[in-house]
Structure formats: C-alpha cells, structure tokens
Amino acid sequence: MIKLCIPDIKELEIASAVDALKSGWLAHGPYNKKFEEKFADFVGVKHAISCNSCTSALFLVLKALDITGEVIIPSFSFVATANAVVTAGAIPRFVDIDYKTCNIDPKNIESAITPKTQAIMPVHFGGQCCEMDKIMEIADKYDLVVLEDTAETMGGKFNNKQAGSFGIGCFSFFPTKNITTGEGGMITTNDDDLARNCRALLGHGIDSTTFEREKNEMPWYRSAVMPGFNFRMSNVLAAIGYEQIKRIDELNKLRQDHANYYLDNLNEINEIDLPYSFEKCEHVYQMFTIKLSNIIDRNLFVKQLNKKGIGASVHFYPPIHQQPFYQKHTEWIDGKLDITEDVSNRIVTLPLYPSMNKKELDIIIKEIKFIIN
C-alpha cells in the first residue's frame, strides 16, 4: 500500500520527545520556547506562538483583534477556515479562486469588500503562496487585516518572502503537513500587542505560563487579564516540532523533487491538468494535485487507484459553501463560485511525502496512465 502521506519522524524527534517526558514538563514548557524561537527565526518575524491547532490559531487571532465583521475567504479550503471565522463571532464572505493555482483570486477580493469587511484570509493551497503583493495592496487600500491560513505552506515563499510573514500567519502541524507535531499550530506576527494577547487567550487569559512563573517569588500567583481558553501545545509535542523545524528545508526539497518527477512523467497526458507553479512563488508541495478532464469519472478514477493500493484522495470536496451548515447562509457567498465548484468536482490528490522512493512514484504514474487509457 502506498499511503497518501507518511510523517517523516527520525530518531532525533523521538529522543527529544522522550527527553520532554523525562523532564517532568509535560504541559507547556521549555521546548515550546525553543520551538517558537526557531520558528520565528525561520519565518522572519518577531513572534511565534505555539498552540494546539491551526484552527485554534485562526480563532485566537480573530478574537484577539475583536473581528466580528466580514472576513473574505475562499470556499475552496478545509472547513476549519470558515469554522474559525464563525466560532469567533465573525462572518465569512466566500469568493472564487484562480483555476491554475487553486488560491483565492485577488480580482475577486476587492468587489467583495463592504462597509462590514474587517479582514482578508487568504488560504495558501497545497504548498503555494497566494499573490500576496496584490492582496496586501488591497488590504492597505481599505485598511484591512490580512490573516494568512498557512496550514499547507510551511516554507513556501512569494517574492522570496516566507508565507506567514506578510500579515499574520497561522500554521498547522497535522501529520500531513510539511512538518508535524501530530496535532499543533503556530501564530506568527510582528505585532507585540497581538502576540501578548494571543498568549493570554490561549492559556485561560493568564499572561504568563507555568514555566515562565517557575522562578518568581510566588510562582503560584495566576491572574487572568481576560477570559481565555485552553489551546496550549504540550512540551512533548513542541519537542517534536523543534526537531522537525530544523529539517524543514530538507523535507521540502524532497517534496519538490518528488513533485518534479510527477510533473516530468505525467505531462504528456492530455486528460489531466498538472499543478501550476506561479513564477513568483517557491512551491513546497504539501499536496500534489491533478485536475481530471470532464470526460473522466473522478470517483471511479480514485477508487481504481485505491484498489491498486494507491492512497489517492480528494481535497476539497465538497467546497465549504456546499456543506450543510453553510448552505443555510447563501448571503455569505459573493457572486458565483463557478471555478471553486468545477475544481472541487475534478481535483485528485496523489500520494506525496518526503520518504517516497522512485519505485513508488513509478507505480503511481503507471497506474494513472493505465486507468486513463
């Protein structure tokens, strides 16, 4: 069986997790600080705040900024993007994507802006940044917050600048992502006040951690500055993340190599559209997706690959605006989402992970050609 994704966990990650377990710091602790510092340095920002998921990260930023108006987002994303907006008390406003990149189309953003708009939430799809120059220009023009859903693009760049460093970044460390902690997330920002408020919100509204208070005269003194939540990342998971972030360039290079092998060997098939790499971007291929011609039955295609032991899947179907809760709110859709719906019906995700080998890639390529023929 060739799985859709296999996390790349080495002995260093295991050793650091064991070290965290033996240290006695099982909740938020010293590895969180080390992971955050390393992460902030990699992205090129002042602050990185670890938490328990990217969904929590998005939610926390919206709450910390008191955003309760409209947030412009693509419907072509995992439902967590919209869920974070709704649960934080704001309103998602869905706009269409660009066919080639599957990212939010900047030309659709400006027309969706209303007096209630407070933020733009671009989702960097599958390892490739959105057109952040155009998005930041629109945000500056209308004085809007830019909150980057960077769950799928750890290490991806636009104009040689890291994803998550344009506005406020929110990252995921789910096992399918470019680095993993099992479950986990990170907020990146240059805003001191936002960083302080997010840290308080994720830890019950208390603006210091147990680890930070350890050397205080009264380490048991815990005073909430605001009502908060418990969205902390454990020290054990942070230990894994600390080792993973050290290897991010190596892991992404392997992904890029495998993606290029796919591209070189599938480009002669007229019935599929291959991933498009925008010239200003460095694509890090968190996923490798193809779009099937309308003459191909997508469901049958995926099932045939699965029968051959190939863990192909679909991201994302159905799009968010066609899911039961969001279907009740057609007023949240800006115009028609024709491209979103078309892509959602034709896209297929192929296996891709750092430890893949040429033999596995050749098997997948051979089966794709056989099924289509």
Query: CA angle 231-236-242, nearest 5°?
Result: 95
> Tens digits of per-residue pLDDT, 13-44?
999 999 999 999 999 999 999 999 999 999 99
Of all residues in the chain, the percent with pLDDT exceeding 90 is 92
The reply to whether 178 falls in a domain is yes
pLDDT band at 214 (very low <50, low <70, confident <90, very high): low
Please give the average per-residue pLDDT across 199-221, as a whole number.
70
Q: Note the pLDDT of residue 293.
A: 97
Boundary-marking domain end, from 207, 222, 247: 247
Q: Are residues 230 and 339 in the same domain?
A: no
pLDDT at residue 218 is higher than 90? no
Is residue 78 situated within a structural domain? yes
Q: Work out how many domains the chain is built from and give that number.
A: 2
- The answer to whether position 6 is within a domain reads no
Report the CATH number that the domain containing residue 129 is assigned in CATH. 3.40.640.10
Please indicate, yes or no, whether residues 137 and 261 belong to a single structural domain of this protein.
no
**The last residue of a domain, from among 185, 215, 247:** 247
How confident is the model at residue 184, as a pLDDT?
Answer: 98
Query: Which residue type sits at 330?
Result: T
Say if residue 221's pLDDT is above 60: no
pLDDT of residue 209: 63
Assess whether pLDDT exceeds 70 at residue 183: yes
pLDDT at 267 over 90: yes
Residue 133 belongs to a domain: yes
Q: Has this prediction a pTM greater than 0.75?
A: yes
**263 and 241 share a domain?**
no
Indicate whether 5 belongs to any domain: no
Judge if 75 and 172 occupy the same domain. Answer: yes
Indicate if 194 and 287 belong to the same structural domain. Answer: no
pLDDT in tens, 314-368: 999 999 999 999 999 999 999 899 999 999 999 999 999 999 999 999 999 999 9
Domain that holds residue 165: 11-247
Name the band, by pLDDT with cuts 50, 70 and 90, for residue 206.
confident
Q: Say if 222 falls within a structural domain.
A: yes
Of 205, 223, 247, which marks where a domain is finished?
A: 247
The domain spanning residue 347 has which CATH number?
3.90.1150.10
**Residue 226 binned pLDDT confidence (cut-offs 50, 70, 90):** confident
Domain annotation covers residue 3: no
Please write the tens of the pLDDT for every residue from 55-71. Answer: 999 999 999 999 999 99
Over residues 115-158, the pLDDT tens digits come to: 999 999 999 999 999 999 999 999 999 999 999 999 999 999 99
Contact by Cβ (8 Å): 208, 37: no
Whether 166 and 56 share a structural domain: yes
The answer to whether residues 289 and 272 touch, using CB atoms and an 8 Å cutoff, is no
Whether 217 and 255 share a structural domain? no
Query: Edge-to-edge strands of the sheet including 347-350?
Result: 272-273, 288-292, 347-350
For residue 7, give every residue at least 6 positions away whose Cβ sits within 8 Å of its Cβ, in sequence order, or none. Answer: 175, 176, 180, 353
State the distance between the two ends of the chain, measured CA to CA, in whole angstroms. Answer: 23
Lowest mean pLDDT among 74-78, 106-110, 165-169, 203-207: 203-207
